[in-house]
Structure 1
Amino acid sequence: MFRHIKRPLRQVGATDRELVRRSAQLPPTVADNVLMVLTRSANHGKLWWLVAAALTTKKGATRRGAMRGVAAIAGASATANLIGKPLFPRRRPAAEEVPEHRRLERRPTSSSFPSGHAASAAAFATAVTMESPRAGLFVIPVAAAVAYSRVHTGVHWPSDVGTGALIGIGSALATRHWWPLHPDVPADTEHRAEAPFMRDGEDMLALVNPGSGTVTFDPTEEVRYAWPKATLVYPDPGKDIRRQLAEEIERRGTVRALGVAGGDGTVAAVASVAADYDLPLALIPAGTLNHFARDVGVKSMPDADAATEAGAAVGIDLGEVSITGSGGTERRWFVNTASIGGYPEMVRIREKLQDKLPKWPAAVIALVRSLRRAKPIDVVLNGKKTSIWWLFVGNSPYLPKGFVPSRRPALDTGLLDIRYLRADVPYSRLRFILATITNTLGTSHVYREYDLPTLTIRLLSGNRRIATDGEVGPLGNEFFFRSRPSALTIYRL
Structure 2
Amino acid sequence: MAAMPLHLLRRVGPLAEVGRRDRRLMARSAALPRSRADRALLLLSRSADKSLLWWCVAGALATRKGSLRRGALRGLGSVAFASLSASFVAKELLPRRRPASSAVPEHRRLLPRPTSSSLPSGHAASAAAFATGVALEAPAAGLALLPLAAAVAYSRVHTGVHWPSDVGAGAALGVGAAVATCHWWPVRDDRPGRTAHRAEAPLMVDGEDMLAVVNPGSGDPADDPTPEVRFAWPKAELLFPDGEADLRGHITAELDRRGGRVRALGVSGGDGTVAAVASVAADTGLPLALIPSGTLNHFARDVGVRSMPDADLATERGAAVGIDLGEVVVEGRDAVQRRWFVNTASLGGYPEMVRLREKIQQRHPKWPSAVLAMIRVLRRAKPFPVRLNGKRALVWMVFVGNGTYAPKGFWPNRRPALDTGLLDVRYLRADVPYSRARFVLAAITKTLHASHVYRQRDLPELDVEVLDGHRRLASDGEVGPLGRVFRFRSRPSALTIYRI
Structure 2 length-normalised TM: 0.94
Report the equivalent of 1:15.
21
- 1:49-88, aligned counterparts within 5 Å? 49-88=55-94
Aligned-residue Cα RMSD (Å) equals 2.0
Contact 1:20 1:157 in 2 (8 A): yes
Off by >6 Å, runs of 4+ in structure 1? 3-7
Q: 1:131 aligns with which of 132, 137, 150?
A: 137
* Structure 1 unmatched ranges of 5 or more: none
- For the structure 1 residues 11 and 77, does the alpha-carbon distance in structure 2 shift closer, same or farther, using more than 3 Å as the test? closer
Q: 1:288 aligns with which of 266, 289, 295?
A: 295
Change (3 A) 1:472 1:312: same
Matched, 1:240 2:249: no
Q: Which residue is 1:299 aligned to? A: 306
Corresponding residue of 1:369: 376
Offset, 1:341? 0.9
1:196 equivalent in structure 2: 202
Segments of 5+ residues of structure 2 without an aligned counterpart are 1-8
One-letter code aligned to 1:169: V
1:440 maps to 2:447: yes
What does 1:159-308 align with in structure 2 at a 5 Å threshold?
159-253=165-259, 254-308=261-315
Deviation at 1:66, TM superposition (A): 2.4
Q: Provide the secondary structure at the position in 2 that maps to 1:91.
A: coil
* Aligned-pair CA distance for 1:104: 2.9
CA distance in 2, matches of 1:311, 1:217: 28
Q: After superposition, give the CA deviation of every residue in 1:45-81 in whole Å (9 maximum; x if it has no partner).
A: 2222222232233333333322222222222112111
- Distance change in 2, residues 1:456/1:7 (3 Å): closer
Tell me, yes or no, if structure 1 residue 419 matches structure 2 residue 426: yes
Alpha-carbon distance in 2 for matches of 1:468, 1:105 = 60
Letter in 2 for 1:307: A
- Percent identity (aligned): 67
Q: Distance in 1 between matches of 2:117 and 2:233?
A: 64
| Mean Cα deviation higher: 376-385 or 179-188 | 179-188
Give the CA deviation at 1:182: 2.9
Measure, in 1, the Cα distance between the counterparts of 2:474 and 2:266: 24
5 Å-filtered alignment, 1:459-474, equals 459-474=466-481
- Partner Cα separation in structure 1 for residue 101 and residue 125 of structure 2: 22
1:387 alignment partner, SS class: strand
Provide the residue aligned with 1:48 in structure 2: 54
Q: 1:140 aligns with which of 130, 137, 146?
A: 146
| Bigger shift: residues 415-424 or 173-182 | 173-182
Residue 317, structure 1, aligned to residue 317, structure 2: no
Tell me, in whole angstroms, the C-alpha distance in 1 between the residues paired with 2:49 and 2:471: 50
* Residues 205, 173 of structure 1: alpha-carbon distance in 2 compared, 3 angstrom cutoff: same
Moved more, 316-325 or 83-92: 83-92
Deviation by residue 1:292-318 (Cα, 9 ceiling, x = unmatched): 111101111111111111111111111
Selected match of 2:32 from 22, 26, 30: 26
Secondary structure of residue in 1 paired with 2:289: strand
1:335 and 2:342 matched: yes
Indicate the SS of the match to 1:210. coil
| Aligned counterpart for 2:413 among listed residues 389, 406, 415 | 406
1:216 shift after superposition: 2.0
CA distance in structure 2 between the aligned counterparts of 1:32 and 1:370, rounded to whole angstroms? 54
- Note the alpha carbon deviations across 1:437-472, whole angstroms, 9 max, x for none: 111111111100000011111111122211101111
1:155 counterpart = 2:188: no
1: CA distance between counterparts of 2:374 and 2:220?
A: 26
Residue by residue over 1:227-272, the C-alpha shift from the partner in whole angstroms, topping out at 9 and shown as x without a partner, is 1100011111211221221121112222111101111111111111
Q: Go from structure 1 to structure 2 and tell me whether the alpha carbon gap of 1:355 and 1:33 turns closer, same or farther (over 3 Å shift).
A: farther
Q: What one-letter code is carried by the residue in structure 2 that aligns with 1:356? A: R
1:226 CA displacement: 1.0
Q: How far apart in 2 are the matches of 1:215 and 1:97?
A: 58
SS at 2:192's partner residue? coil
State the shift of 1:362 in Å. 1.4
Deviates more, 1:73-82 or 1:53-62: 53-62
Describe the SS at the equivalent of 1:172: helix
TM (normalized to structure 1)?
0.95
CA distance in 2, matches of 1:447, 1:40: 48
* Per-residue Cα deviation, 1:267-297 (whole angstroms, up to 9, x for no partner): 1111111112211100001112111111101
What's the secondary structure of 1:106's corresponding residue?
Answer: coil
In structure 1, C-alpha distance between the alignment counterparts of 2:146 and 2:97, rounded to whole Å: 28
Match of 1:115 among 108, 114, 121: 121
Q: 1:446 to 1:279 in 2, by over 3 A?
A: same
Task: Give 1:491's aligned residue.
Answer: 498
Work out the number of aligned pairs and report it: 492
Distance 1:235 1:94, change over 3 A: same
Give how far 1:117 is off.
1.3
Q: How far apart are the structure 2 equivalents of 1:9 and 1:108?
A: 19
Counterparts of 2:383 and 2:304, CA distance in 1: 38
Write the distance in 1 (CA, Å) between the matches of 2:357 and 2:52.
24
- For 2:196 and 2:473, how far apart are their aligned partners in 1? 31
CA shift, 1:143, in A, is 0.8
Structure 1 residues 329 and 117, CA, compared in 2 at 3 Å: closer, same or farther?
Answer: same
Moved more, 418-427 or 169-178: 169-178
Q: In the alignment, which residue of structure 1 is the partner of 2:4?
A: none
Q: 1:356 to 1:41 in 2, by over 3 A?
A: farther
Paired residues of 1:61 and 1:184 also in contact (CA < 8 A): no
Residue 389 of structure 1: SS of its match in structure 2? strand
Aligned partner of residue 474 in structure 1, secondary structure: strand
SS of match in other structure, 1:283: strand
Distance 1:473 1:74, change over 3 A: same
